Chain A
């Protein structure tokens, strides 16, 4: 059974870098059948797609975040990581890790982790 577990600091200072890890169990991130990505949700607001990575290493990012985002994969640990630089209070959100099936909009989600940007 697929499990996606997000982890990382719950508090980040403005202008610093946010780093999160998604540990995947029940599936291999090296599979050609899936994309692995991140989605966020500011408190009381809607969902925002951040980006994803394919097993080949190719990535796609939201145009509004592209200049600050990096998504990477560590196949030895079966983990997917998110790095968001130069954060501001507007980056305060619950960050979700998600798996999407290749050739489909079918998406499965982790439980999410809250990151607060504050000094």
Chain B
């Protein structure tokens, strides 16, 4: 199974909105609504931001939202803040009953 495709980096200014894409195939992202997004700050464990495409866990800011169209899932962060600067990973279930991650996207807040 191949890793899901994410842009290596994205950037935005405080207050702006950015979107991170996560492209897979009909065997993973396109086939199931089991896509999640994780935020990881340096030397920290990943933190769940979005699960099941668009659900936000309790305690996660509503500035974070998720969506999916076809084989591509997206994470949108609105009203960018300095604390949002981190690595972001998508994760999807696959037809093989396994899970696959994206390569990760480094978000820089300018």
Contact = CB atoms under 8 A, between A and B. Distances in A.
Chain B interface SS verdict (over half): strand
A13 interface: no
Contacts, number: 60
Contacts of B89: 46-47
A27 to B, nearest CB: 16
B109 interface: no
B45 to A, nearest CB: 5
Contacts of B51: 104-107
Given A47-B104, A104-B34, 15 more contacts: A46-B89, A46-B102, A46-B103, A47-B89, A47-B101, A49-B98, A62-B1, A63-B98, A105-B36, A105-B51, A106-B36, A107-B38, A107-B91, A110-B45, A111-B45
Contact of B48 (A60, A63, A96, A106): A106
Interface of B: 1, 3, 34-36, 38, 45-48, 51-52, 55, 57, 89, 91-93, 96-104
A96 B98 CA distance: 17
Interface in A76-119: 96, 104-112
Nearest to B100: A49
Contacts of B97: 60
18 contacts: A46-B89, A47-B46, A49-B98, A49-B100, A51-B98, A61-B98, A96-B45, A96-B46, A105-B34, A105-B36, A105-B51, A105-B91, A105-B93, A106-B57, A107-B51, A109-B45, A109-B46, A109-B47
A96 B44 CA distance: 11
